[in-house]
Amino acid sequence: MTPRLSQPVGAYPRTRLRRNRRTPWLRRMVREHSLSVDDLIWPVFVIEGDNERAPISSMPDVYRLTIDHLVKDVSKAHDLGIPAIALFPYVNPSLKTPEAHEAFNPDNLVCRAIRAVKDKVPDIGIICDVALDPFNSDGHDGIVSDGVILNDQTIDVLCKQAIVQAQAGCDIIAPSDMMDGRVRHIRDALDGDGHQDVAIMSYAAKYASVFYGPFRDAVGSKGALKGDKKTYQMDPANTDEALREVALDIEEGADMVMVKPGLPYLDVVYRVKEAFNMPTFVYHISGEYAMIKAAGQNGWLDYDQAFMEVLLGFKRAGADGIITYTAIEAAERLQKQ
């Protein structure tokens, strides 16, 4: 980002900032930031079965899709120009174990979804979460023993999870678990299995946020979750620590970094981009989506304008891309502009 003058030059009445706001063409001419379809990543939920679009009550207009519908919707996303999707599975509760075995089953729902999408829509990027919460009977991102989330034992499982996803055709592995050292080990594991070109987008600064609630409904981990995630996700009060998290992940081999949630953490997005100049992504998460959606449905604000303003806010803060449940709607709006 370019350095800015700390003091405006000139003074009223010769200087009038409203002059540059007078007409739409003028406002377009002096506009500093813009949103494009290239900035959008669409997160999608996948479930077992056929021909089903299962609604999620806390995320109106977002569905869990069976693989046949997933492929159709992803094809639409590709036609709209969206560069990538992020896949999240709703795992059958009977498959959840304390060791999260299903996470590294090469034929699990995520791997089958990756193969189906790659087969029919080969030119869209696929990003996959690496974390154990959808597969773990404790609902935690790591292996739990006596109430403690085990760091190093979890990393072994995350590496196996990353490998089955890469083998299925995943382009970008996105560790969202916040274990220390996982990026380094996942990079080594991927390289060791011949996946040098599979990238890592690390959820580097991920906060212990109440706004994940609707997502946990969507992937069915809410009922399972015992306690909270505060021993591994970050304290919402900290930003210097976010820079240390990002620095470590870059050092360990992350190709891109992410800040999550989005809206309450724009200062973190700004500082991360300023400090590292890395491809920096932000996750406009489920609770942020639900808030705007609910207000829109109640007629309290204009839903379309509200989410477009939020997405632009992420760009202004320095994000290079946004993971957002509004990606399809945003792409459609951008096409009409």
Q: Is 212 an interacting residue with respect to ligand PBG (CB under 6 A)? A: yes
Pair type for strands 53-55 and 63-66: antiparallel
Are the CB atoms for 97 and 253 separated by under 8 Å? Answer: no
Report, in Å, the least distance between residue 313 CB and ligand PBG: 17
Pick from 176, 280, 324, 326 the residue near ligand PBG by CB under 6 A. Answer: 176
Task: Provide φ and ψ at 197, rounded to 5°.
Answer: -90, -5
The smaller minimum CB distance to ligand PBG, of residues 129 and 252, is found at 129
- Torsion on CA atoms 241, 244, 245, 251, rounded to nearest 10: 180
Beta bridge partners of 125: 84
User: How many whole angstroms separate alpha carbon 232 and alpha carbon 248?
Assistant: 15
Active site residue 260: yes
Are the CB atoms for 216 and 225 separated by under 8 Å? Answer: yes
Report, in Å, the least distance between residue 331 CB and ligand PBG: 18
Q: Provide the residue count of the chain.
A: 337
Tokens coding 88: 């999240």
Total residues binding ligand PBG (CB under 6 A): 11
Interaction mask 216-245, ligand PBG, x per CB under 6 A: x-----------------------------
Report, in Å, the least distance between residue 10 CB and ligand PBG: 45
The smaller minimum CB distance to ligand PBG, of residues 71 and 208, is found at 208
DSSP 17: G
Report, in Å, the least distance between residue 114 CB and ligand PBG: 17
Q: Which amino acid is at 84?
A: A
Pick from 66, 108, 154, 286 the residue near ligand PBG by CB under 6 A. Answer: 286
The smaller minimum CB distance to ligand PBG, of residues 158 and 166, is found at 158
- Of 324, 316, 307, which Cα lies nearest the Cα of 273? 316
- Comparing every residue's Cβ against ligand PBG, the nearest one is 215
Q: Is 129 an interacting residue with respect to ligand PBG (CB under 6 A)? A: yes
The smaller minimum CB distance to ligand PBG, of residues 13 and 133, is found at 133
Report, in Å, the least distance between residue 16 CB and ligand PBG: 43
Instruction: Compute how many other C-beta atoms are within 10 angstroms of the C-beta atom of residue 240.
Output: 7
Residues interacting with ligand PBG, by CB under 6 A?
A: 129, 131, 133, 141, 176-177, 212, 215-216, 285-286
